[in-house]
């Protein structure tokens, strides 16, 4: 294949639940070559496992299907290829639903969908433990056996290779499970520019581009603190577009006429988001050095990124494991002036005393005053007497589901049996939620990579 | 010298990794980056947060971006889905750090007096109306 010299990779979703119109704006608002959409967060996989347990056809980001029904004909028409991890724990089910979409919109076999499978190791977990992979917790070092019987999902973060394989197989839409967020953006670069596994600096540049794309509008003005009050037209905020060159430099921009802004400031905020040690940003394909990033303004809403260095990949892949770890619930009530905070604090004391008298035991009980200390905690000192209103927020967590259930029945009674001037309970009882705790682990590549499969079929 | 809150010198964004919150602090002016390097030491930041951060504070430097990245360990009540905090994912720890006071020359304090906050008389009814392209 002839290698292209310049490609435009547009971000369409930053998480499952993001602006549903954003991908449509990316397709309709100007020329792009790829549309990449990230749907998965750490907790998402366990939710999807539960959905698939109830319905074998479920377990992927359902919003993706009606979205594709809107944009797939235009994407095929204009040669825009879609790369997404919307497949969740069921890329096959997602791909099958896409075939249905193709039929409904009358594509008649003019498009191809690729699906990547093999990241899901839940069914292989016992065999892997048997073979000596202890999947120890990355921070505590505890072996997975400690929580094995409560594991709900286990997925390996995959790099770009299977996505590149699907693109080489002619896929117009590539659906994966737990691919890394950044791989969705740099896999097209590897495919188009022919980068090899030893092109560390260029791969690292791709990772930085992926990091800038992966949270949608967070790099183009969304959630940006810098001069936020001056941002134009946020109701149609432009999502980021990476204009990538084969040498590993790229420009961050957005479509003309969209809202938001692209500056060194907005891009810098996204670069530091969820950052650990910036000199070692570890991915399945390369270790990127974020301290090497250089940003230059290149006209309105254009920031050039260059100078990025990287080092060889490690022998390990990261595994995202979720396990059931008890129950929690959070209840709220609103107290009004005068002495709003004092009333809320007194109500919290009454509530705690009632929980004690009922003999309920929790691992944690937490009281916050929304409107005073729920975000800046002890930094704000005691609340002033003249707060117009404050919301009392009490949460509990523990192993005993019945105790958490009972807690949810102790909020409403405070309305008639506690301090006065209270309202805001119309939402009913708090919901009991099962806690899905996160267990990050490492696994050797060779235990996973031979099990990956890539299928490309007509839509 | 004058003591001013960091919000006038830097913008910031925060996120989470398990029970650790990260806060990236970016100097508005590259010239002020050395001030941040000198005063935002891990121990000063740990002291600022007090009981809000149970574990250690680590600091990393990104001089090209005139930015510092802090890892606040044990800040999120177990983090993610375990945490009972309103800010379980540490999304606004960034602004909590921007409350921290730093010591700057009087001329710097005067120059940045209006940086980082909405200008007087700003009207939310007109937010976003200056459409441009």
Considering the domain architecture, whether residues A66 and A192 belong to the same structural domain is answered as yes
Q: What is the CA radius of gyration of chain B?
A: 16
Pick the residue from chain B with its C-alpha nearest to A376. B96
| Residue found under tokens 């590897």 | A190
Specify the pLDDT at position B133.
42
Chain B residue numbers with beta carbons less than 8 Å from the beta carbon of A440 are 18
| pLDDT (mean) for A119-130 | 97
User: Which pLDDT value is given to residue A425?
Assistant: 86
pLDDT at A1 over 70: no
pLDDT value at residue A135:
98
Q: Are residues A352 and A269 in the same domain?
A: no
Total tally of structural domains belonging to chain A: 2
pLDDT for residue B129 is more than 90: no
Residues of B in contact with A229 (CB under 8 A): 118-119, 122, 127
Does residue A140 sit within a domain?
no
Torsional sign, CA A139, A144, A145, A151: positive
Of B7, B62, B121, which to mutate for an interface test with A (greatest number of A Cβ within 10 Å)?
B62
| ipTM of the complex in this document | 0.97
Instruction: Spell out which residues of chain B touch residue A378, defining contact as CB-CB under 8 Å.
Output: 50-52
Distance CA B47, CA A392 (A): 27
pLDDT at B130: 67
Average pLDDT, chain A: 96
Across chain B, mean pLDDT equals 95
Q: Which of residues 125-144 of A touch B (CB under 8 A)?
A: 139
CA dist., res. B46 & res. B49, Å (int)? 5
Q: Do B84 and A396 touch (CB under 8 A)?
A: yes
Is the domain of A263 the same as that of A349?
no
When CB atoms are compared, the residue of B16, B80, B122 closest to A274 is B16
How do beta strands A389-398 and A316-336 pair?
antiparallel
Provide the β-strand partners of residue A151.
A323
Say yes or no to pLDDT of A50 above 90: no
Shared domain for A293 and A327, answered yes or no, is no
Q: 427-446 in A: which are within 8 Å (CB) of B?
A: 433, 435-438, 440
d(CA A7, CA A32): 8
User: Is residue A448 a part of any domain in this protein?
Assistant: no
pLDDT at A214: 97
Structure tokens that stand for A271 in this block:
């670069």
The predicted pLDDT at position A216 comes to 98
Q: Which domain holds residue A340?
A: 323-439
Residue A4 — pLDDT band, cuts 50, 70, 90? confident
pLDDT above 70 as % of chain A: 99
CB A336 within 8 A of CB A418: no
In a domain, A137, yes or no: no
Å between A332 CA and nearest CA of chain B: 11
pLDDT at B109 exceeding the cut of 80:
yes
Is there a single domain that holds both residue A20 and residue A92?
A: yes
Query: Residue range A20-37: average pLDDT?
Result: 98
Domain match, A204 and A339 both: no
Q: Is the pLDDT of residue A64 over 50?
A: yes
* Contact present, A371 and A394 (Cβ < 8 Å): no
A338 and A298 inside one domain: no
Q: What is the pLDDT of residues B47-78, one digit of tens each?
A: 999 999 999 999 999 999 999 999 999 999 99
The DSSP symbol for B76 reads: S
Q: Is residue A126 part of a domain?
A: no
Token couple for A158: 């995959």
- Residue A213 to residues A173, A239, A254, A295, Cα–Cα distance (Å): 18, 8, 11, 15
Decide which of A314, A332, A364 is a domain's last residue. A314
Quick check: is A130 in a domain?
A: no
Q: Is the pLDDT of residue A3 over 80?
A: no
> Is residue A342, in this structure, part of any structural domain at all?
yes
Task: Verify that A22 and A105 share a domain, yes or no.
Answer: yes
Residues A292, A200 share a domain: yes
**How far is residue A258's CA from residue A237's CA, in Å, rounded to a whole number?**
6
pLDDT in tens, A389-423: 999 999 999 999 999 999 999 999 999 999 999 99
Rounded distance, CA A189 to CA A184, Å? 10
Q: CA geometry: angle at B90 spanning A390 and A204, to 5°?
A: 155
| Percent of chain A's residues with pLDDT above 90 | 94
What's residue B132's pLDDT? Answer: 47
Q: Report phi then psi at A449, rounded to 5.
A: -60, -35
pLDDT in tens, A199-237: 999 999 999 999 999 999 999 999 999 999 999 999 999
Q: Residue B34: what pLDDT?
A: 98
Q: Are A236 and A381 in the same domain?
A: no
Determine the average pLDDT of the residues in A101-128: 95
A5 pLDDT band, cuts 50/70/90, is confident
A275:B24 CB<8 A: yes
User: Could you say which of A314, A345, A366 is where a domain stops?
Assistant: A314
Cβ A454 vs Cβ A162: under 8 Å: yes
pLDDT in tens, A241-275: 999 999 999 999 999 999 999 999 999 999 999 99
Given a cut of 80, whether residue A172 has pLDDT beyond it is: yes
- The three-point CA angle B48-B54-B60 to 5° equals 65
Query: A198 and A68, same structural domain?
Result: yes
How does pLDDT run across A307-320, given as a tens digit for each residue? 999 999 999 999 99
Please indicate, yes or no, whether residues A171 and A275 belong to a single structural domain of this protein.
Answer: yes
**Is residue A2 predicted with pLDDT exceeding 60?**
no
Q: H/E/C letters for each residue in A408-421? A: HCCCCCHHHHCCCC
pLDDT tier at B9 (50, 70, 90 boundaries)?
Answer: very high
Inter-chain touch A225–B132, beta carbons under 8 Å: no
Residue A77 lies in a domain: yes
Q: What is the DSSP letter of B34?
A: H
**Which pLDDT does position A286 carry in this prediction?**
98
Using the predicted structure, report yes or no on whether residue A66 has a pLDDT greater than 70: yes
pLDDT higher than 60, residue A21? yes
> Would residue A458 count as lying in a domain?
no
Q: Is there a contact between A15 and A41 (Cβ–Cβ < 8 Å)?
A: yes
Residue A294 to residue B64, Cβ atoms within 8 A: yes
């Amino acid at each position: 294949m002839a290698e292209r010299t310049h490609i435009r990779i547009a971000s369409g979703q930053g998480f499952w639940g993001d602006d549903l119109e954003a991908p449509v704006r990316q397709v309709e608002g100007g020329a792009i070559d790829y549309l990449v959409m990230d749907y998965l967060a750490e907790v998402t996989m366990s939710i999807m496992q539960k959905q698939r347990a109830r319905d074998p056809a479920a377990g992927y980001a359902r919003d993706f299907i009606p979205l594709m029904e809107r944009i797939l004909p235009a994407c095929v028409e204009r040669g825009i290829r879609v790369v997404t991890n919307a497949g969740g724990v069921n890329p096959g089910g997602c791909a099958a639903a896409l075939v249905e979409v193709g039929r409904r919109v009358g594509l008649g076999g003019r498009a191809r969908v690729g699906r990547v499978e093999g990241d899901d190791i839940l069914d292989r977990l016992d065999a892997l433990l048997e073979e000596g992979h202890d999947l120890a917790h990355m921070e505590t070092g505890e072996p997975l056996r400690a929580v094995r019987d409560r594991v709900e999902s286990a997925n390996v973060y995959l790099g770009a290779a299977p996505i590149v394989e699907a693109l080489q197989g002619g896929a117009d839409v590539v659906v994966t499970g737990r691919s890394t967020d950044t791989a969705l953006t740099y896999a097209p670069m590897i495919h188009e520019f022919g980068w090899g596994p030893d092109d560390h600096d260029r791969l690292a540049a791709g990772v930085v581009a992926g990091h800038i794309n992966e949270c949608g509008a967070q790099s183009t003005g969304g959630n940006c603190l810098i001069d936020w009050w001056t941002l134009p037209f946020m109701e149609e905020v432009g999502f980021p577009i990476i204009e990538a060159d084969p040498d590993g430099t790229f420009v961050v921009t957005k479509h003309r006429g969209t809202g938001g802004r692209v500056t060194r400031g907005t891009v810098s905020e996204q670069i530091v988001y969820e950052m650990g040690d910036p000199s070692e940003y570890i991915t399945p394909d390369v270790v990127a050095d974020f301290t090497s990033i250089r940003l230059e303004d290149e006209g309105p809403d254009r920031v050039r990124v260059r100078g990025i260095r990287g080092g060889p990949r490690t022998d390990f892949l990261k595994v995202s494991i979720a396990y059931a770890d008890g129950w929690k619930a959070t209840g709220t009530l609103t107290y009004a002036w005068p002495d709003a905070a004092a009333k809320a604090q007194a109500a919290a004391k009454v509530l705690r005393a009632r929980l004690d008298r009922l003999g309920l035991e929790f691992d944690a009980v937490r009281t916050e005053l929304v409107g005073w200390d729920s975000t800046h905690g002890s930094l704000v000192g005691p609340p002033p007497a003249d707060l117009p209103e404050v919301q009392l927020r009490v949460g509990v967590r523990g192993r005993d589901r019945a105790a958490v259930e009972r807690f949810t029945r102790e909020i409403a009674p405070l309305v008639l049996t506690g301090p006065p001037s209270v309202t805001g309970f119309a939402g009913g009882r708090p919901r009991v939620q099962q806690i899905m705790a996160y267990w990050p682990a490492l696994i050797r590549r060779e235990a996973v990579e031979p099990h990956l499969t890539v299928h490309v079929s007509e839509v | 010298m004058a003591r001013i809150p960091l919000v006038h010198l830097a913008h910031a964004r925060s996120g989470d990794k398990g029970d650790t919150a990260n806060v990236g602090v970016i100097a508005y002016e590259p010239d002020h980056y050395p001030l941040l390097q000198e005063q935002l030491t891990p121990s000063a930041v740990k002291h600022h947060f007090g009981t809000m951060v149970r574990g250690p504070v680590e600091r990393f430097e990104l001089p090209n971006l005139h930015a510092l990245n802090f890892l606040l360990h044990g800040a999120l009540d177990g983090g993610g889905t375990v945490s009972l905090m309103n800010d379980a994912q540490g999304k606004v720890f960034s602004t909590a750090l921007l409350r921290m006071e730093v010591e700057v020359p009087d001329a710097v304090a005067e120059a940045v007096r209006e940086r980082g906050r909405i200008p007087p008389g700003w009207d939310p009814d007109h937010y976003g109306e200056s459409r441009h392209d």
